[in-house]
Amino acid sequence: MATMPPAELRALAKVLDELDYYEVLEAPRGASGSALREAYHGASRRFHPDSNRHLDVDLRSAIERIAKRVTEAYSVLRDPRRRKIYNEMLAGTNGVRRLQLVESAAAASQRSRNEREGLTPHGRRFFAQAAADISRGDSASALRNLQMALTYEPENALFQAKLAELRSQGR
């Protein structure tokens, strides 16, 4: 039987959010891929929901919470790319312990690149004109062009920011 004493389980579930993935898996930070897998298998033996059907509801839900975090930890750490990002986050000062699995950093940067220029042909065209207006110092024309650009892309954060900036300068 692989489970921990109930008191320990409850305690672990309680502090789960304060543990980083290495602590969840009980693996050292420098653990190799196969060591991580061993740690994952070990943690799964301890916390797999299947092995705890006989327990009380509150203990089962504690174990399920831990099991999900174990899976999450392993999903991040087994992937070298995610692990690198995670290690950098851990080294940071903001106390982040969890990483979203769906990494969209690349897509996000693609999007911001798109936003810089605009997502639609007309949006791009008016925004480019507005940029040219600004560099020429023609803020009235820039304002009009930005507003036009925004009618095509009302949610473009960059367009909005530019417009706000222009308006605040105008005051």
Partner 1 sequence: MAEVAIGIDLGTSNSCVAVAGRDGAEVLPNAYGEGVTASVVAFAEDGSILVGNAAKANVIHAPRTTVYSAKRLIGRYFFSEEVKKARAICSYEIVEGPNHSVRLKVRGEEYSLPEISAMILKEMKSIAETRLGHPVTKAIVAVPAYFNDNQRQATKDACRIAGLEALRILNEPTAAALAYGFGKGLNQKVAVYDLGGGTFDISVLEIGKDVFEVLSTCGDTFLGGDDFDDRVIDLLADEFSAKHGINLRSDPYAFEKLKVAAESAKKGLSLEDEVEIRIPDVVQAADGQSLSLERRLGIAEYASLVNDLILRTFKVCDEAMQQAGLVTRDLSGVILVGGPTRLPLIRQAVRDYFQQEPRTDVNPDEVVAMGAALHAASLMAPEQQSFLLDVTPLSLRIGVAGGLAETVIERNTPVPIDQTRTFTTFQDFQESVRIRVYQGESRQAVENELLGEFVFAGFARARRGDVKIEVTFEINSDGIVSVTARDPATDQKASTQITLSSGLREEEIQAILARGHTERVQTPSPLVGDSGPGDLAPAPDEVASADDIEVLPETLPETLPEISPSVSAVGGPSGPGEDPEVCQEADVRPGIEIDLDPSVDELRPEDPDDDLLAAPGSELSVEISGETVDLDTETVPATLRKD
Q: Judged by CB, which is closer to partner 1: 27, or 67?
A: 67
3-state secondary structure the chain: CCCCCHHHHHHHHHHHHHCCHHHHHCCCCCCCHHHHHHHHHHHHHHHCHHHHCCCCHHHHHHHHHHHHHHHHHHHHHCCHHHHHHHHHHHHCCCCCCCCCCCCCHHHHHHHHHHHHHCCCHHHHHHHHHHHHHHHHCCHHHHHHHHHHHHHHCCCCHHHHHHHHHHHHHHC
Among 11, 108, 132, 164, binds partner 1 (CB under 8 A): 108
CA distance 58 to 55: 8
Q: Using the rule CB under 8 A, give the single segment among 10-18, 36-44, 127-135, 158-166 that binds partner 1.
A: 36-44
Q: Judged by CB, which is closer to partner 1: 14, or 68?
A: 68
Q: Using the rule CB under 8 A, give the single segment among 22-30, 49-57, 131-139, 142-150 that binds partner 1.
A: 49-57
Output the smallest distance, CB 66 to partner 1, in A. Answer: 10
| Residue 127 CA neighbour count, 13 Å, CB half | 25
- Should residue 71 be labelled a site residue for partner 1 when binding is judged by CB under 8 A? yes
Q: Judged by CB, which is closer to partner 1: 16, or 134?
A: 16
* Interface characters, 76-95, with partner 1 (x: CB under 8 A): ---------x--------x-
Binding site for partner 1 (CB under 8 A): 1-2, 37-38, 40-41, 44-45, 48-51, 53-54, 64, 67-68, 71-72, 74-75, 85, 94, 96, 98-105, 107-108, 111, 119, 153-157
